[in-house]
Structure 1
């Protein structure tokens, strides 16, 4: 197959399965829908693909108020009305195109070179949002009513879509995507990830950090389990504080770096010793 192949990036550790599905998505020219726990690197995957393939990255951060049309273009009727009343040196009121601004999808379509387009957290938007993107992502074009013109993609972008499973995505949308679920890294893969960020970390310190981290994740009562990004932050703080291997082995310093809910923090502060003893026994 003649297409750009993704084989990983300098600071993004990928499993063979993830590399394979990225390349399947590129080869089929289908969007890649990525799901997984928060902090497993869904968003960073698009950055890694951009870096590895040396292609520009465009990021569309989806919000609860986002509409599919916003990703294509927006028409500033208010500005045009103000300019018609008060005048403007920058725009020609009679030229509608001066008031059309392309969104991230529109930019991806009109860029002269192929880009990586990240549609981040698509499940935050209205349930109809994915369906409203079906045609644009399928045939790679959209119609601008105000200009009575169709904008077609110069190059089909590499589209990465992330979801945190907050809402179910419609079947019609799913049929048009390639799918991958990023499993939470096991201890060995996590060791590789940490080494990318802290290549000089002492093995004993790393082992103690991983031991405490995975023990925390095993506590059923913890509602928000610490993620990979929080582990990296925690280790960074520990190294800057110059704590010894014994300090990390006997307790969990700076617990608020790992635990982000008050109820979890209070639970662990009061019952941590007993909890960890029971977890270790299992």
Structure 2
């Protein structure tokens, strides 16, 4: 079982090696990188490439590790007992299987995605150490032990919002997805827009990377935002030459709302346009360096 990318996902040799190493070592693959660099999509494409079922666990700030194992609904059981429901005699009726439980009992070896683990409480990764290491856990309400039929391929993503515990990191194979260079980005775009005209692609990529290089940008546009922007350029049939517009009044690219995601960055570009206009006019007033009347003879 080896991963070599798919027709819908461009994975460089280092990322392929990381996925295959994690599979061989039977350790979770911890993937970090800028938002929008394809970390979540990686798990989906690994499942697609290996023919494995995909189980997704998307983490929120309120998510607890226990929810990945199971949840016991004591309130529903109490209510049913008051109503005389026969289901109350079997406590298993009130236990909801979590994503890890589903992965452990899957008939086929699944891909388990634990998405954005850094959103949860700092203790969340530590609370999963034993279960991910031994691939088993105990259900106290029923007294049973759930053991994995086969180790799932575990892919864990992080946006680096907070540091993860050392004990957790030791149990993972780590890979950082660097932001694609222009050649790799071109390959990614061509996967999604195979018939895109070369001039539009070249001008769009030039503009995109110029925006990312602007100093002081609060949120640099990501790969997913570039793809959204290209889709809009095609829908609106934007002239490729407009993307290389040198008019200081038009420094912000067309449909920039797909690339610039907050008012600070939009204001930054407006400020740059204003400064550019001032430089174009020069320091003199409307009448020349000495004022409206010019130099005195």
Of residues 123, 127, 141, the one that matches 1:128 is 123
- The residue correspondences of 1:81-230 to structure 2 (distance < 5 A) are 81-88=78-85, 92-230=87-225
SS of the residue 1:160 aligns to? strand
Tell me if 1:267 matches 2:268.
yes
- Normalising by the residue count of structure 2, what TM-score does the alignment of the two structures yield? 0.89
Q: 1:45 aligned to 2:45?
A: no
Note the C-alpha offset of 1:179.
0.1
> Take 2:241 and 2:180, find their aligned partners in 1: how far apart are those partners?
25
Partner Cα distance (2:107, 2:206) in 1: 49
**Superposition RMSD on alpha carbons, in Å?**
1.3
Partners in 2 of 1:220 and 1:74 — Cα distance?
48
1:274 to partner: Cα distance? 5.6
Take 2:84 and 2:175, find their aligned partners in 1: how far apart are those partners?
52
Matched, 1:14 2:11: yes
After the TM superposition, which parts of structure 1 deviate over 4 Å for at least 4 consecutive aligned residues? none
Determine the C-alpha separation between the residues in 1 that align with 2:194 and 2:219. 28
- Give me the whole-angstrom Cα distance separating, in 2, the residues matched to 1:241 and 1:60: 37
Aligned residues: 271
Tell me the alpha carbon deviations over residues 183-229 of structure 1, each in whole angstroms, 9 at most, x when there is no partner: 00000000000000100001111000000000000011111000000
CA distance in 2, matches of 1:231, 1:170: 33
Shift of 1:270: 3.5
> Which residue of the partner structure matches residue 231 of structure 1?
226
**Structure 1 residue aligned with 2:290:** none
TM-score, structure 1 as length reference: 0.94
Deviations 1:157-179 (A, max 9, x none): 00000011111111110000000
Question: Which residue number corresponds to residue 24 of structure 1?
Answer: 21
Match among 57, 63, 72 for residue 75 of structure 1? 72
Q: 2:61 & 2:240 partners in 1: Cα distance?
A: 45
Structure 2 distance, partners of 1:243, 1:176, is: 49
For structure 1, list consecutive stretches of 5 or more residues without a partner in the other structure: none
The whole-number CA distance in structure 1 between the counterparts of 2:62 and 2:226 is 32
Residue 60 of structure 1 corresponds to 57
Q: CA 1:206–1:272 in 2, change beyond 3 Å: closer, same or farther?
A: farther
Distance 1:246 1:130 in 2: 49
Deviations 1:79-130, CA, capped at 9 Å, x for gaps: 0011001244xx6101000111110011000111110000001011111110
Aligned residue number for residue 255 of structure 1: 256
SS of match in other structure, 1:167: coil
- Alpha-carbon distance between aligned partners in 2 of 1:172 and 1:262, rounded to the nearest angstrom: 40
| Unaligned segments of structure 2, at least 5 residues | 280-297
Which has the greater radius of gyration? 2
